Each structure stands twice: as structure tokens, then as C-alpha cells.
Amino acid sequence: MLTIRAATESDVPLLRTLIRELAEYERELEFVAVSEADLLRDGFGAHPKFRALIAEWDDQSAGYALFFGFYSTWEGRPGLFLEDLFVRPQFRCRGIGKALLASVARLAQQQNCYGIRWEVLDWNQPAIELYQSMGGTFLDHWRSVLLKDEALRQLADKGGLGCVAGEESSQVRWLVVAAGEEGFRSAIGDSRTSTRSGSVLRMD
């Protein structure tokens, strides 16, 4: 029997284990740096940066979804970004991935979100077909961009590069928002390659 519940502080060790299993499934375990302390601070501290759902099958941990909010200036409404969706191999083909995504969709509707965004590996045909069957729209004309590590530091160190109307260049302030992770990794289907394409599921 399937149960889906909100993750709590006590689930931090499990979350880290599932994250590592996802990374191992995608053959990128060596790139996972997140610690239990990171997850505890950023998911269950005074100002949470993400939320997570845990799927259990007959009281066994079967998978998880991890997501966070963003804002659409075109829609004038918030949305949810699905960072991770993972089902353990021994629990697949039971509808758990779809149930997790449906649970995130219900939360999005409750919070008046315009939709859910995530990314899927371009070779993962089972996942792509699942998302298409749900009514997901693939944003093939968009390309994901990631700025991190030394490139991020170099850009941050450069400061203002010119004048903004009505201001001297010395008064220009930069706001750099950069992702520290690679984005959503979908593991409903097979293993991975490095190329992803975005998709969105609208709520209206």
C-alpha cells in the first residue's frame, strides 16, 4: 500500500541516502556534496529553501520528491520547481512516481501556483511519455544555463561593468542568483546522459 507524506527533520538521513541513490543511478555519485547538516539547515531551519515528500510502500521507503518555489513575472503568480523525483528500482512500475508528482501538483494548486517546472533527460523516453500523458509541455526552445564555482566567483568579483540610466557605474549593484545543483534529475526511466530539456505542467 502506498503512503505519501511530508518529510520531517527525522527524515534527513533518509533524504540524503535517497539523493545519493539517485546520483548513483545517474552515475554521478562522485559529484554529490550535500551533507545531512546541509539538508537539515536548508530544509527544516528557520527559513526553509525546499520541501520534500517521502513515498512509502508497505512502510518501506520507496522514493521522494524535492521541490521549491519560484515566481513568474509573466504570470504574476508563483510556481513550484521540482528538483528531484526518484523511485527506488525495486518499487518501480507501481505508479509511485506519478503519485508523487500528483501530490506536488495538489500542493501547487493549494498555493495558487500557475504550474510546476522540472527537467528531464532527453533520452529518458519512459519519463518523457509519462509527462506527455499528463499534459506536460516541453520547452524545447529554452536552454538551461548554470554558472558555478570559479566562473561564478569571477563574475561576482567583476562588479559593475557600465552605467545604468541615472546612475554612475560605481553605484551599480549586482545581484547574482546561481544554482548550486544541476537541476532536476528524473529517474523514473533508465540511466542518464548529460543533456536535459525543460517541461512545465500548468495548473489552469
Known catalytic residues are 131
Name the nearest CA neighbour of 68 among 36, 34, 39, 29. 39
3-class secondary-structure state, position 110: helix
- 76 and 41 in contact (C-beta within 8 Å)? no
Using CB atoms within 10 Å of the CB of residue 15, give its burial: 0 to 12 exposed, 13 to 18 middle, 19+ buried. buried
Which strand (E) or helix (H) includes residue 86? strand 77-87
Q: Map grid coordinates 523514473 to a residue.
A: 188
3-class secondary-structure state, position 128: helix
- 200 and 115 in contact (C-beta within 8 Å)? yes
Torsion angle in degrees (nearest 10) through CA of 163, 168, 170, 173:
-60
Report the C-alpha gap between 138 and 133 in whole angstroms: 12
